[in-house]
Amino acid sequence: MAPALLLVPAALASFILAFGTGVEFVRFTSLRPLLGGISESGGPDARQGWLAALQDQSILVPLAWDLGLLLLFVGQHSLMATETVKSWMSRYFGVLQRSLYVACTALALQVYYHVLGLGEPLALKSPRALRLFSHLRHPVCVELLTVLWVVPTLGTDRLLLALFLTLYLGLAHGLDQQDLRYLRAQLQRKLHLLSRPQDGEAE
């Protein structure tokens, strides 16, 4: 009974996160900033703002590109997630079916970066950040360690696997003093930015 009760706050937190994400998505996709803050009354000014937006090529062209990128993302994810496509891919590619799905997702993201002119994402990072990434373990490693150790019993082979991978994750990669100095500088920079008064606030 107790473990089931622990799921209640987790489910509630998940619902709040999903609801908040939906609200933020609606706010993000609002055209009010694009139209220069049209009135909320829905009167003639609002209608004129929409009509002007629908006739402005500088607005329609970026929106068309955005819609195309969204359709690419939704189409790739939805089509390749259907049972028909998954069965076909499993028949011809076997265990590589999931890897092919991930590769197509990465390809769709590369199209997104190319359209926006962003290039390779990691190329935008500084050498110090890239050095940190090469030493930093991915957060999914915590999940892996949980799966390895949180089990009712540990057989000899499972214990050997858990010990070896735990040592590997803990010792093979680690932060050094240069990485820590970089992290400290980034933290100080963010704290400085957060402490600055926002536009419209009194000094």
pLDDT in tens, 136-195: 877 778 888 888 898 888 889 889 999 998 988 887 777 888 888 988 898 898 888 888
Amino acid at 191: L
Q: What is the mean pLDDT of the chain?
A: 78
Average pLDDT over residues 104-108: 85
Higher pLDDT, 123 or 100: 100
pTM for this one?
0.44
Instruction: Give the C-alpha separation, 198 to 194, whole Å.
Output: 9
Average pLDDT over residues 60-68: 84
- What integer is the mean pLDDT of 100-106? 86
Predicted confidence at residue 38, as pLDDT, reads 46
pLDDT of residue 84: 93
What was the pLDDT predicted at 7? 65
pLDDT-derived band at 29 (thresholds 50, 70, 90) equals low
197 close to 203: Cβ distance less than 8 angstroms: yes
Tell me the HSE value of 102 on the side-chain side, using a 13 A CA sphere.
5
Using pLDDT thresholds of 50, 70 and 90, give the confidence band for residue 88: very high
Residue ranges covered by each domain of the chain: 1-30+47-124, 125-195
